[in-house]
Structure 1
Amino acid sequence: MSELPGYTVAPIQEDDVDEVMTLLKRTFFLDEPLNHAVGLCKSETDPCPELEDYCSHSLLEGLSFKAIDSEGKIVGVIVNGVCPLKEEDGNDLLTQARNCQNPKFQRILYILSRREEGARLWERFPEDDKLVEIKVAATIPQWRRRGIMNVLVKETEEATKQRGIRLVRLDTSSAYSAMSAERLGYTCVYTAPYKDIKMDGQPLIVPEPPHEHDCVYIKKLFD
């Protein structure tokens, strides 16, 4: 646990899960550009089991962190998980997209599958078989622009190195997240304009400006 002005950073524990999910439903579920563009959730009480499962799946791997204020309230979170560089057939994103019963989430999964095929990380980093992926990051509005995400990312990198994993992955659908990734020393290995990611001749999802590109960023923590 580390203390910083106004807040403390610590690993997410089992008894944090409900509070973390409530925070995500009030922020990431509504604000993330792809979620917002398809109207995935209209309010924090609008359920999306597929996204809830995606967010909660990695929470207790010991790699996800929270920022808490002086009253013990969670004001920011980062959800991370260990992932293979290439999923096995049957568990890949394209298969998940084809099998998804939620048409809005299905469109997002198709975007993610194109992202995976475009980045082809297993070819770029053949010496690695896994990495840590920053899956979700969110801060409540009152605590934004205070550097919380930068600290949570650094905490993630330290935990990743302690596990002997050298790659951290950060995908960005938001122009602001992409700028943050570059400031934090991440290298863009894939980018595609949303208007060019199509199915049946039509763009799958086109978020509102300035969110115009889908990107994958990677940082090598050691050689």
Structure 2
Amino acid sequence: MQPNYTLRAVTLEEKEIQAVLQFATRIFEEDEPLNTVSQSLVDASDIGEHLIAILRQSLSVLALDDGGEIIGVSLNGLIKREEAETNNFEFDPKTCEDGILQLLLHVRREDKMWDKLPKTCNTVLELHMCAVRSDWRGKGVMTALTKKTERMARTTCAAAVRIEATSAFSAKVAEKLGYKEIYRLPYKDQIYTPSPAPPHLDMRVYIKEL
């Protein structure tokens, strides 16, 4: 029997934005492989404004159980070729001291995504973070959120979807859905944070042209 849940876009209601932010931050702090081994945890205050800006693009997706409780979220935002050429990431590397954010900056610089997409592709919808409540994992929620993200990408005329997979589990979902790996950084070769425990051996970037 399939578990019963519903998917819908995150609204712009302040109460819902704050609820989604708290949910995503809690899952990130408890379960993100990089965060569980880093001595410098990414606090909500460090990334809160960034995530709120993503939510206000009205492209993120909620998964709700029968009682209306959040069981999963996909935080999605548009990135444009012309903006990427002048601003490679939302955080300034000169003022960023957190190891995890430094790693994300490094990956953004090195994955060369735009060189691997057609010149006609000027807009990509990025799945910035996908978080699922622990008791709902293994039930297809992340797959459903990702598929919903792809449908939303098409409505915004985005030509591709990008996923940064920091865990082996998110990488497995991306590959299952036909995403192409364009970059891989083994955690043992990076200098920004301690390496997570297996099975999380590397960070990967995937894209899927639509």
Output the TM-score relative to the length of structure 1.
Answer: 0.84
User: Hey, what does 1:204 align to over in structure 2?
Assistant: 192
Q: How does 1:1-223 map to 2 (within 5 A)?
A: 5-15=3-13, 16-41=16-41, 47-85=43-81, 87-89=84-86, 91-93=87-89, 96-100=92-96, 103=97, 105=98, 107-125=99-117, 126-197=119-190, 203-205=191-193, 206-221=195-210
* Structure 1 residues 35 and 156: alpha-carbon distance in aligned structure 2, compared to 1, 3 A threshold: same
RMSD between superposed Cα atoms in Å: 2.0
Alignment: residue pair count: 204
* Structure 1 residues 10 and 94: alpha-carbon distance in aligned structure 2, compared to 1, 3 A threshold: closer
Q: Distance in 1 between matches of 2:145 and 2:196?
A: 26
* Structure 1 residues 120 and 20: alpha-carbon distance in aligned structure 2, compared to 1, 3 A threshold: same
SS in 2 for 1:57: helix
SS in 2 for 1:208: coil
SS in 2 for 1:217: strand
Q: Distance in 2 between matches of 1:84 and 1:185?
A: 22
Amino acid at match of 2:162: R
Contact 1:132 1:167 in 2 (8 A): yes
Amino acid at match of 1:27: I
Amino acid at match of 1:118: E
Amino acid at match of 2:192: L
Aligned-residue identity in percent? 31
Output the TM-score relative to the length of structure 2.
Answer: 0.88
Q: Residues 183-203 of structure 1, C-alpha deviation per residue, up to 9 Å, x if partnerless? A: 011010001112222xxxxx2
* Structure 1 residues 95 and 5: alpha-carbon distance in aligned structure 2, compared to 1, 3 A threshold: closer
Following superposition, the deviation at residue 36 of structure 1 comes to: 1.8
SS in 1 for 2:128: strand
Q: Distance in 1 between matches of 2:91 and 2:127?
A: 22
Can you give the 5+ residue segments of structure 1 that lack an aligned partner in the other structure?
198-202
User: Hey, what does 1:200 align to over in structure 2?
Assistant: none
